[in-house]
Amino acid sequence: MSRSIQRRTFLTAAATAAATAVGVSSASAAPRTPVPSTPAARVSTAFTLPDDRAYPEGIAADPRTGALYVGSYTTGAVYRAVPGSRTAEIFLPAGRDGRHTANGLKVDRAGRLWVTDSTAGVSVYDVRTRSALARFDVPGDAPRFVNDIAITADGSAYLTDSVREVVYRVAPADLAEARTHGGHATLTPAHDLGGVLAPHPAGTFTLNGIAAGDRCLFTVDMTGGALYRVDLATGAIRRVTLHGGDLVNGDGLELVGDTLWAAHNKTDAISRWRLSADGTSARLERVLTDPALQIPTTLVRRHGRTLVVRSQFDKGGPMGPGTPETPFTVAWVRGI
């Protein structure tokens, strides 16, 4: 998809294709290995969002309180839904701290909310006071698309860049140093996957979702449909062998134990995979394909069910013209 992202100030050739990073690869419109949908799965509304132009993208759960945070791709607002609530509230208003988009979100164990801005980098907030703690930006003017985020057990944050094909790292020491120097710092690549990704057309977006394992990271190439494992101790990068399917259009990832869930945005699908003990292979267990998912972008597991962001990017958002169904919602999905 080649439409330019709305309200961008850096309309380079890469940014013109930015909808691909949050939408789909133009190279493939459907998974290469069809798998029957899961008949027992059910999709229902978990809670609604307050903005009729939200076009949500990312979701994160606070591990301490159970509160859920959802980011708006088109405005940069962040919404919060407390346990039991059927309607989210505005937690951070649109345009807060100069952000005009909110992609990946994560809440760490210290109660800090990390919000990626595809155009710039990542901002860190205190969930109790809503105050900004730090901001890390990609230096220079070259194209970038900071997409999704994962946090490892040591408190480090890792972020994918869909244009530069790198994974950035913000270690706890980096965050502490930024806070002592006015709260601003730069993002630096920790892992470069450009040399291992499958060949793809110039300007195509690649890295998207990312998840943290015990000693490694997993990140998806949404164009090639592949999953990559990054060893945190050695930096070694290898392609995970997938059995039974692929991850074309793969967006957000969720990893619990040895089970990996993936949202496939354009194809309105969620897949579930079983990882091998060493994380070098994965077998497809189930797939749910349902138009009720409304272009799912990210997901999170809570209480044995899957919460899925319904972006509706194809209805007046970055993937195409039209009118969205309002209010925007986050779905409960059972059976996947």
Residue 8 has pLDDT above 70, yes or no: no
Q: Give yes or no for residue 155 having a pLDDT over 50.
A: yes
What is the rounded average pLDDT for all residues in the chain?
89
- pLDDT attached to residue 221: 98
Q: Which residues pair with 37 in a beta bridge?
A: 287
**Digit-coded pLDDT (tens) for 35-80:** 545 456 799 999 999 999 999 999 999 999 999 999 999 999 999 9
Alpha helices in the chain (DSSP H): 13-16, 18-22, 172-180
Instruction: Tell me: pLDDT of 9 over 70.
Output: no
The confidence score (pLDDT) of residue 71 equals: 98
Q: Which two tokens stand for residue 17?
A: 């294709």
pLDDT in tens, 227-242: 999 999 999 999 999 9
Greater model confidence, 181 or 171? 171
pLDDT higher than 60, residue 14: no
Q: Print burial letters for 189-205: b (CB count within 10 Å at least 16), e (below 16).
A: bbbebeeebeeeeebbb
Residues 174, 188: contact at Cβ < 8 Å?
Answer: no
SS3 label, residue 14: helix
Rounded to whole angstroms, the maximal C-alpha distance in the chain is 54
C-alpha 324/C-alpha 34 separation (Å) is 28
Q: How confident is the model at residue 202 (pLDDT cuts 50, 70, 90)?
A: confident
Helix, strand, coil: what percent of the chain each, to 5? 5, 45, 50
Check pLDDT > 60 for residue 20.
no
pTM beyond 0.85: the answer is yes
Peptide bond into 327 cis (omega under 30): yes
- The mean-pLDDT minimum among 30-34, 194-198, 239-243, 321-325 falls in 30-34
> For residue 216, which amino acid is it?
C
Assess whether pLDDT exceeds 80 at residue 1. no
pLDDT for the residue numbered 303: 86
Q: Averaged over 201-220, what is the pLDDT?
A: 94
Q: Quickly count: other Cβ atoms within 10 Å of residue 183's Cβ.
A: 16
Question: Given a cut of 50, is residue 31 above it in pLDDT?
Answer: no
d(CA 25, CA 70): 24
- Does the pLDDT at position 244 exceed 60? yes
Q: For 40-44, 114-118, 191-195, which range has the lowest pLDDT when averaged over its residues?
A: 40-44
Q: Would you state the structure tokens that stand for residue 221, as one six-digit string?
A: 């190439």
In the chain, % of residues over pLDDT 70: 88
